A and B are shown apart, each in its own frame.
Chain A
C-alpha cells in the first residue's frame, strides 16, 4: 500500500507555538499534498509539492519533501486555536491516474 504513515498520531501544543507533522511513504510519487479536516467536515487542500521540489511555503505553512527518504513534513508556524484539526498527507503516483491515497493523519490540538 502507498498509504503514508504520519507521525505523530496526535499533537497538543499551546497557541503561538509551531507544529510539525511528518509523513512517510513507500514508493516514488508524482506529487504529495497536505489536507486539513475539521471534525466531521470535508477536507480542505493546503499545499501541493511536486516530486522535483524540495520546499514550498504558503502563509504560515512550510512543506518540505525529501524523496531520497520518502518523507515530507508540514510545519505550521505561530499556531492558532483555529488550526485545531486533523491533517493528512496524500500521495499521487506516476502513472496512477487520478488516484490520491491518504496517510493515517495527525490530530492537532492547539490550546489557548
Chain B
C-alpha cells in the first residue's frame, strides 16, 4: 500500500469549473511533487516543493496553481482547464535533500487522480 494518499481518485470537470486535487503523506518527507502523465507516456514534472516552498515550476500554465499548506499536505488547484489537460496527476514525496540540495533519492508516489476535462 502506498503511503501517499491522493484524493479524489477520479474527477470530471467542465472548462469553467474550479476544483482541487489533494495529496497527503505522513512519512515526514520534506519534498513533495506534482507530475502529469498522459496515456502511454512517462510522468512529466510540474512542480516541486522543498520545505514547503516552491522550488521548481516547470513552466506550468497558471490555470494550475499548487499550494503546500504544511509539510504533510500538497494541493493542486485547477481553474479554466482545457480538454488537453485530461491526464493522470501523480503526487510524490521524498526525504529532504542534503545541504548540497542536489540529492534526489527515492520518490514515493500516490495512486494518482485521473482528471477528465469536458
Contacts and interface: CB of A to CB of B under 8 A. Distances in A.
Interface of A: 3, 30-31, 33, 35, 40-45, 48, 88, 90, 92-105
A96 B106 contact: no
A97 B50 contact: yes
Given A98-B55, A102-B42, A42 B104 contact: no
Contacts, number: 80
Interface of B: 2, 4, 31, 33, 41-45, 48, 50, 55-56, 88, 90, 92, 94, 97, 101-112, 114
Contacts of A40: 88, 112, 114
A101 to B, nearest CB: 7
A100 B107 contact: yes
Contact of B104 (A30, A35, A43, A103): A30
Contact of A41 (B50, B107, B112): B112
Contact of B42 (A98, A99, A105): A105
A48 B88 contact: no
B94 A42 contact: no
A98 B111 contact: no
Given A42-B2, A48-B106, A92-B104, A101 B88 contact: no
A17 B103 CA distance: 35
B33 A45 contact: no
A97 B114 contact: no
B112 A42 contact: yes
A98 B43 contact: no
A107 B48 CA distance: 27
Contacts of B111: 41-42
A104 B109 CA distance: 18
25 contacts: A3-B42, A30-B102, A30-B103, A30-B104, A31-B103, A33-B106, A35-B107, A42-B90, A42-B110, A44-B109, A45-B106, A45-B108, A90-B107, A92-B104, A97-B48, A97-B102, A98-B48, A98-B56, A98-B94, A98-B97, A98-B104, A102-B43, A103-B42, A104-B41, A104-B42
